[in-house]
Structure 1
Amino acid sequence: MKRPHMNNILDPPPGDAKPSLDSGAFLDLKKKSLSGMVALFIRQVLVKLIFFGGNIVLARLLAPQIFGIYAIVNFVVTFFSTFGDVGIGAALIQKKGDLSREELSTTFWLQQMLVWSVVVVVMLAAPLALKVYSTLPPVGVWLIRAMALSFLFSSLKTIPAILMEREIDFNRIAWVDITENLAFQGVAITGAFLGWEAWSFVAAAVTRGFLGAVLIYAFSRWRPSFHYRFESVKGLVRFGLPYQGNQILNFIKDAVAPLFVGAYAGAAAVGYLNWARNIAYAPLIISETFGRVAFPAFSKLQDDKALLARTTEHSIKIMSLIMFPIMATMIALGPELIHVVYTDKWMPGIYAFYCYCIPPMVVSIASPLYSAIMAQGKPSILLIISSLFILFEWGLGVVSVVLLGFTGAAMTQLIIVPLFTYFYKWILQKNNINIKIFINVIYKIVAVLLSVCVVVYMKKIIVVNLMTLAIMSLVSIAIYLFAMLLMERASLLEFGEYFKKIREK
């Protein structure tokens, strides 16, 4: 019997029309994308392993309130930093053709002018944070000012990183990211042992930013010149402003926890929410990896809507196949995971953890849709949608927190993320890019429900410790794979072939 054709994430499904791109260029794009996916995925896995290891140690050493103080400080600096960019980075990645030295140099100096302006504002405005957050200690002012340095260092990496991403060259980026995160966790854990409390995180963030800037210039041949002509980047700014506006609105949309919860319920509540979100959202390394590669790769397919649609569907199929069982296992074993690994002092965050575990499943669908929209060069549409959803996020979030406590902030994600996904699909459909979702996820949902039921039953008859926790996790994944083998064998074999290609790379 003839073996069915196997695809990678950029292949159209069998039977579809041939790519309209030059076949050699398309094959080269696929090769670069797969190589980039491998490098970036390995990077993401290593970074998350470093994060998990460090987070477990820090969670055992520090109180939830310390995590909350750092989250608030980081939010304040990040809020101001969103105004230190005009979205030109995304515009440079999306732009067709080569980038001139004048465009790159002008972009660099324009961003630096914005960044230094923001840093000055942060230094002056830091004391106002004490008026917003009653539980923030006086030292919070200096924590905020110190964190601004990490933003300054990080801005220096923008152009070299963009040039690497345009070439879908994530190998060097991966080394920078891994080294940065090792440095962050090493400094943070050392500081926690020495009793630095919140300063542990801030010192780690500044170290990470400085080291990252040094490394990326060591790996890159590009250096800023003294060229500056704003007219050369006007077109990029026109694309970048709505894109950055969308980023700012998304940031405001997600600010319910650090802003409102921090002011209303205190730093400890923010600590529980951030902890729950960080753990539950850890598997999103898959969608993050995909998104960083898919944006430049999909941008090269933007003129062929049929090919872009089939490629997006194929991406949804692959991503959901991976994401669904991971999140289902985390939900089924949530209390045991907290008790055994993080200790019971984090148990008040269990319901927030449950709520945060559902959205990553939906993101495995939304992420390819988002990348397809961005590849069309229409960020203004996302700007409008983000503006509308801020009303939902804050309206539902504030009411939920007041009525249900800090867990209410997590509960809103069960509504917001599916709504985003629906609107992304609607936007693509309006642009004659029709994406089928239901047929690509229904069997995975059935398999997930089956695996969860088995694990819940096992918990009733097994004493839970670190070893049995690992065993039940493996059993959950095994049941899911077996169910998928019975219901959707072709997809499982396809993923196996894809994984084989990644392993070879």
Structure 2
Amino acid sequence: MTSSHDAGPAKRVLGWVGWAGADAVGRILLLTGSTAVLSRMLSPRDFGITALVLTVVAVMSVFVGTPFEEALAQKRGLRRSHLEAALAASWAVGLALLALSVPAGMALGAAYDEPQMALLLPVASLSMFFSGHTDIATALARRRRRFNDVAFANLAGHAIGVTLALALAFAGAAVWALIAVRLFVMIARAVLLQMRLGAVIRPRWSTPRLKEIGRFAGFSFLDRLADNLTYLAFNNIVGVFYGVTTLGYVNMAMRLIEPIRGAIVAIAHNLAFSFFAGADAARLRDSASTIASRTAFVITPIFVGLAAVAPALLPVVAGPGWEQATKIATCLALGGAIAVPARLIFTALSASGRPEFGLMSSIVGFAATVVALVAAIALGPIAVGLARLVGDGVQAAIAIGLPNRLLSWSRTARLGAFLPAWILAGGMGVAVAVLGAALRSSGDLTSLLISVPLGAVLYVALLALFARDTLTTLAAAVRPHRAEA
């Protein structure tokens, strides 16, 4: 039986995972449901227009709160003055970017012959202040291991934001509803998290405090900026070469995959970071190898399964007229299966105060994505999905190919941590894709209802045959009271 000393942390971690899972599933259902409604009220061109606006806002938001979350979460000797200085800097940058959003919106509107973008961008940019506040509050929550509060604020914030946005859509402002989802969610999430933490964070400038977190914040900022520039380059290259309508198909594919990817990345990163932080070299190596391997067996089949059922899932969610988004969604899902587990290596390095390697991978991956996107233009819209797949593959290759000395963990062992999950999930994905194609004649919904549970059963069977120890460990994590001490 598990000792009381072991049971406490196990139950606590299981509680975090439970709340995080509920948050992820709830957000996915809310966002997918809102997309299903709005896709029947708007055209692909409308989705393309708002995709351009929201991508610009996402890049601008990187300058606001994102640089500080990781820096504050790992800072030794964190004081309230660090939080207050970060919020002051965040809002100062936000005000400058809000002013720039007015001429930027006019320029976007002129470039794409869409005058409404001149107003859409400044309004959407208001979300920066609340996302920045949330990032800083999240850093405090991670320090206190208040993951349940973060999950609650995320889920409740999405419920409030999606409800208000859909009300706006039914009132006749469907295009504005796409913008309002982000804005209302950010406002609600910031307020709820602040209330749950019970610690009011006020902006107060302090140059010395900002200098103390400056180096880490700088690398974190550049890492997130490179990720978001990938989306910005995607949208603008697609908009220029294929038109805004095709960009709408790309946006629909991303709306199907990215909420799931974002939720899984956040959960895996935040929980793993809390175990990696402060560990010595030997413990960091052992923790990284164990967590990365076990996590790969959980994460990989989710994305591979999404890729396999995308031809049936997308029509069910979006309705008719969105068929061109299917292949893009498949590529995005496969990219997630490759890159998301491997990025835990960068989480381990970041927790040990070395965020520059995550930045390097983002920059190289971004460059590979842009090169592939331009080189594959002749292939049509699927080029966007293939380019993302190339970029994700490059980032995973960098994570596995980093020098052994960084984690005292060999490249061969790193590859071995991920390869079994990729192979088993790949086998399951091929079987589900073949089965789904055979069932499509009975309808997309029927195909989904049969393929998804059979895929889950098949994957568990594959684990039982080829990775029994992993299956036993995962089962014990779900039932910690039956685990051995």
Q: Please say whether Structure 1 and Structure 2 have the same fold, judged by a TM-score greater than 0.5.
A: yes
Stretch of structure 1 that moved more, 370-379 or 54-63: 54-63
Give the Cα–Cα distance (whole angstroms) in 2 for the partners of residues 346 and 266 of structure 1. Answer: 15
CA contact (8 A) 1:29 1:297 kept: no
Find the partner of 1:174 among 145, 148, 151.
151
- The equivalent of 1:330 in structure 2 is 306
Q: Secondary structure at the match of 2:251?
A: helix
- The equivalent of 1:287 in structure 2 is 265
Taking a change above 3 Å as real, the CA distance of residues 101 and 64 of structure 1, as seen in their structure-2 partners, is same
Find the partner of 1:365 among 334, 341, 352.
341
Aligned: 1:417 with 2:429: no
Gaps of 5+ in 2: none
Counterparts of 1:104-123 in structure 2 under 5 Å?
A: 104-123=83-102
Give the Cα–Cα distance (whole angstroms) in 1 for the partners of residues 250 and 271 of structure 2. Answer: 29
Find the partner of 1:460 among 438, 460, 466.
438
- The equivalent of 1:211 in structure 2 is 188
Q: What is the identity, as a one-letter code, of the residue corresponding to 2:179?
A: V
Q: Secondary structure at the match of 1:300?
A: coil
- The equivalent of 1:151 in structure 2 is 128
Find the partner of 1:490 among 465, 469, 474.
469
Taking a change above 3 Å as real, the CA distance of residues 192 and 467 of structure 1, as seen in their structure-2 partners, is same
Taking a change above 3 Å as real, the CA distance of residues 100 and 145 of structure 1, as seen in their structure-2 partners, is same
Give the fraction of aligned pairs with identical amino acids, expressed as a percent. 21
Stretch of structure 1 that moved more, 185-194 or 163-172: 185-194
CA contact (8 A) 1:316 1:364 kept: no
Aligned: 1:271 with 2:242: no
Deviation at 1:468, TM superposition (A): 4.3
Per-residue CA deviations over 1:10-66 (Å, capped at 9, x if unaligned) read xxxxxxxxxxxxx98x99776654443332222112111212222222223322222
CA contact (8 A) 1:47 1:178 kept: yes
Per-residue CA deviations over 1:428-458 (Å, capped at 9, x if unaligned) read 6241431524433444444334434544146
Taking a change above 3 Å as real, the CA distance of residues 152 and 502 of structure 1, as seen in their structure-2 partners, is farther
Counterparts of 1:212-231 in structure 2 under 5 Å?
A: 212-224=189-201, 227-231=204-208
Give the Cα–Cα distance (whole angstroms) in 2 for the partners of residues 225 and 339 of structure 1. Answer: 46
Deviation at 1:239, TM superposition (A): 1.7
CA contact (8 A) 1:287 1:363 kept: no
CA contact (8 A) 2:343 2:399 kept: no
Counterparts of 1:31-430 in structure 2 under 5 Å?
A: 33-85=13-65, 87-97=67-77, 99-134=78-113, 137-224=114-201, 227-284=204-261, 285-301=263-279, 304-400=280-376, 402-427=377-402, 429-430=404-405
Q: Secondary structure at the match of 1:333?
A: helix
Question: TM-score by structure 1 length?
Answer: 0.86
Give the Cα–Cα distance (whole angstroms) in 2 for the partners of residues 182 and 503 of structure 1. Answer: 36
Taking a change above 3 Å as real, the CA distance of residues 65 and 231 of structure 1, as seen in their structure-2 partners, is same
Per-residue CA deviations over 1:353-379 (Å, capped at 9, x if unaligned) read 221121121134213112112112122
Stretch of structure 1 that moved more, 470-479 or 183-192: 183-192
Deviation at 1:499, TM superposition (A): 2.1
Taking a change above 3 Å as real, the CA distance of residues 432 and 212 of structure 1, as seen in their structure-2 partners, is closer
What is the aligned residue count? Answer: 478
Deviation at 1:81, TM superposition (A): 2.7
Q: What is the identity, as a one-letter code, of the residue corresponding to 2:335?
A: P
Give the Cα–Cα distance (whole angstroms) in 1 for the partners of residues 172 and 239 of structure 2. Answer: 23
Q: What is the identity, as a one-letter code, of the residue corresponding to 2:465?
A: L
CA contact (8 A) 2:127 2:187 kept: yes
Q: What is the identity, as a one-letter code, of the residue corresponding to 2:237?
A: F
Question: TM-score by structure 2 length?
Answer: 0.89
Taking a change above 3 Å as real, the CA distance of residues 318 and 242 of structure 1, as seen in their structure-2 partners, is same
Q: What is the identity, as a one-letter code, of the residue corresponding to 2:71?
A: A
Give the Cα–Cα distance (whole angstroms) in 1 for the partners of residues 482 and 20 of structure 2. Answer: 13
Q: What is the identity, as a one-letter code, of the residue corresponding to 1:396?
A: A
Tell me the C-alpha RMSD between the 2 structures: 2.9
Give the Cα–Cα distance (whole angstroms) in 2 for the partners of residues 67 and 189 of structure 1. Answer: 15
CA contact (8 A) 1:299 1:375 kept: yes
